[in-house]
Each structure stands twice: as C-alpha cells, then as structure tokens.
C-alpha cells in the first residue's frame, strides 16, 4: 500500500533513510550535522509537500519526499528523498513508488520534476534513467559538487516500470 506518511512514523522513516543511504557511502554516513529526525518531521508536516510511503506487512519499505523547491516555478516539483529498504531492492517497490509520485505530480499539474543524486550512487542513477530521468541541462553540477542534477518531463510522460 502506498500512502501519505504520518508523524508517528518518523522514527521508522529516519531508520530506513539511514539504511538506504549507508549503501552508497563506502566510509559510512557523513556526519554533517543534519538532524534527520527534525528534517523528516518537517517534511511530513509541510503543507506544501508530501511524504509518500510504501507499507508492506506493517513496515515502511519505501519512501519519497517532494515539494516545490524554493525559487522554482509552481509547475516544478523536486524529489528530495527517495529510498527503498535495501532488504526489499528489486522487488518492484521503487517502481511502484515512483509511479505513484509521477501520477500525483501529473494530477497536480506539474510539468517538470527535478532531483539531485549522489555521484557514488550508481544504483539510483540507473533506476532513475530507467524511469526516464535525464541530466538537467539547465543545472549542471558545480565544480567539486558530488551530486548530479536530473530532470523528468512529467506532462504526458507515460509511467513505466523497469525495476
């Protein structure tokens, strides 16, 4: 089942976020001072954004957080976080969650979706490419940046699988 996350699930969301991110940091998660509990509480509570989660067997198995980014046009949405529990990779959860996001963006009249993905996260880059994401020509990475900026045309996009 895919549904909107609720505040009571924030601890489970933070734990899933940490497990998923740890897979592409070879030296462990960076300690950058981010309070992920507060960040996820804010994301869930934001009236201008959504956190969708996939629940299987009473457990959160995937999650996506998106909203209109600061300074962007109203028809643009940014996918800030997208994670699937590593124990559930290759089970179709990511594709189903991505499809739900795109359908919601289309229903909301969004035309473009953007995201940034860590350069070391080859698995995510391949997943996004299968979903139709391409490098964002308007937002190339800055010198020394460890993220790639991707873009998806939401309008008229046929939602496709591939995971």
Of the chain, the end-to-end C-alpha distance in Å amounts to: 18
Distance CA 149, CA 143 (A): 13
pLDDT at 25 (0 to 100): 72
Q: What is the pTM of this model?
A: 0.88
Order of strands across the sheet that contains 76-84: 2-4, 49-56, 59-67, 76-84, 112-118, 147-153, 134-135
Which residues are within 8 A (CB) of 48 and not within 5 positions of it... i.e. 6 or more apart? 67, 68
Q: Tell me which CATH homologous superfamily contains domain 2-153.
A: Gcn5-related N-acetyltransferase (GNAT) (3.40.630.30)
pLDDT at 43 (0 to 100): 95
Task: Give mean pLDDT in consecutive 10-residue pieces for the chain, a chain of 163 residues.
Answer: 96 93 74 84 94 95 94 90 92 96 94 91 93 91 86 70 38
Q: Which stretches of 9-155 are DSSP H helices? A: 10-22, 36-45, 93-107, 122-130
- Indicate left, alpha or beta for 92 from its phi (over 0: left) and psi (-120 to 50: alpha): left
What are the extents of the domains in the chain? Answer: 2-153
What is the C-alpha R_g of the chain? Answer: 15
Which residues are within 8 A (CB) of 28 and not within 5 positions of it... i.e. 6 or more apart? 22
């Amino acid at each position: 089942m895919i549904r909107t996350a609720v505040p009571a699930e924030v601890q489970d969301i933070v734990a899933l976020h940490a497990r998923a991110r740890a897979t592409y940091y070879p030296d462990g998660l960076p300690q950058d001072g981010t309070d992920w509990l507060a960040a996820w509480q804010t994301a869930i509570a934001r009236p201008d954004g959504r956190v969708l989660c996939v629940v299987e067997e009473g457990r959160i198995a995937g999650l996506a957080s998106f909203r209109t980014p600061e300074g962007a046009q109203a028809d643009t949405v940014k996918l800030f976080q997208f994670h699937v529990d590593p124990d559930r990779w290759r089970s179709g959860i990511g594709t189903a969650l991505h499809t739900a996001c795109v359908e919601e963006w289309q229903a909301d009249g969004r035309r473009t979706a953007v995201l940034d993905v860590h350069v070391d996260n080859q698995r995510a880059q391949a997943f996004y490419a299968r979903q139709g994401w391409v490098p964002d020509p308007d937002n190339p990475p800055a010198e020394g940046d460890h993220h790639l900026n991707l873009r998806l045309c939401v309008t008229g996009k046929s939602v496709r699988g591939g995971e």
